[in-house]
Structure 1
Amino acid sequence: MVREHPFFRQLMSLSLPIEDYVIAGSGPMFAHGLRRDIGDIDVVAGSVAWGRALELGHPETAPLGYAQHVVLSGGTIEILDGWFGYPVDALIAEAEIIEGIRFMPLRRVLEWKLKFMDNGVGREKDWRDIEMIRQYLQ
């Protein structure tokens, strides 16, 4: 199911080292069936995957300023060198592997979405996501 989605097919075509990144954002919710579709894929890259991303595109500061990112495939893939202050290697190490792809665990998605909301930068959809994840984890 996950690998059949066009965004994940595009991601696989980029030849990023699969052991050196983790899917964050709404991607884990999609992988667990909590979302039927997603608007993009947030890829948090370790040093080797980030090096590959730099070969594919030009880095810019991410909109919230917490990391650098390379936006590819018309905006459907965003490769980031960080994720809201979390250690990238730790995020990769704790990932859940679904269909051979590393995803941020839902408990971690819940944690950062709550922090996001506490900082006043969250969106209405984040509250809905928080409730969906809480219900799923119970």
Structure 2
Amino acid sequence: MIDFRDHPHIRALLAIGMPARDYAIAGSWPLYARGWIDAPGDLDVVARGVAWRVAAAAGTPRPAPYDGVRHVWFAARTVEVLDGWFPSVWPDVGQVVDTADRLRGLPFANLDVVLRTKELLGRPKDHAHISIILANR
């Protein structure tokens, strides 16, 4: 299995200093952490409470391009911390954070969240990722 904790994006995330109880790593990273895909180009992190306040204080919160969510970029725009995750589906960010899977001590959005997100986005890579998730259930 890959050692995703050595990836520069994960090191950059950990350097922010957010408490792991208040965030979940989302996007394609839950697949990468399981060794199912190559490393994604960026790291999406859904944060609430203290984690969001730490990220917001360390960067510059700006509106994300969808759903009224705010985000902060770190590490040359390779780590994105967001204060929501598709609020039309998960109006409470705690739904994503509280159900996260722990892999090597880090919280990753569970596969149901990843699958629903990939279905919403519907890009070519999302279709490939959906197939991978379904094949590994």
Q: Is the 8 A contact 1:66 1:83 kept in 2?
A: no
- Pick from 94, 98, 103 the counterpart of residue 93 of structure 1: 98
1:115 deviates by 2.6
Name the residue aligned to 1:133: 133
Distance in structure 2 (CA, Å) of the matches to 1:108 and 1:33: 18
- Cα distance in 1 for partners of 2:127, 2:66 equals 18
Q: Give the total of aligned pairs.
A: 132
How far does the alpha carbon of each residue in 1:44-68 deviate from its partner, in whole angstroms, 9 at most, with x for none? Answer: 0011111001111111111234411
Contact kept in structure 1, 2:67 and 2:86, CA below 8 Å? no
TM-score of the aligned structures, taking structure 2 as reference length: 0.91
Determine helix, strand or coil for the equivalent of 1:29.
helix
In structure 2, what residue type is equivalent to 1:97? R
Gaps of 5+ in 2: none
Let me know the Cα RMSD of the aligned residues. 1.2
Q: Secondary structure at the match of 1:11?
A: helix
Shift, 1:130, TM fit: 1.0
Structure 1: which 5+ runs fail to align? 118-122
Pairwise mapping of residues 1-138 of structure 1 onto structure 2 (< 5 A)?
Answer: 1-85=3-87, 86=90, 87-117=92-122, 123-137=123-137
Relative distance call for 1:66 and 1:29 in structure 2 (3 A) is farther
Runs of 4 or more, structure 1, over 2 Å off, are 63-66
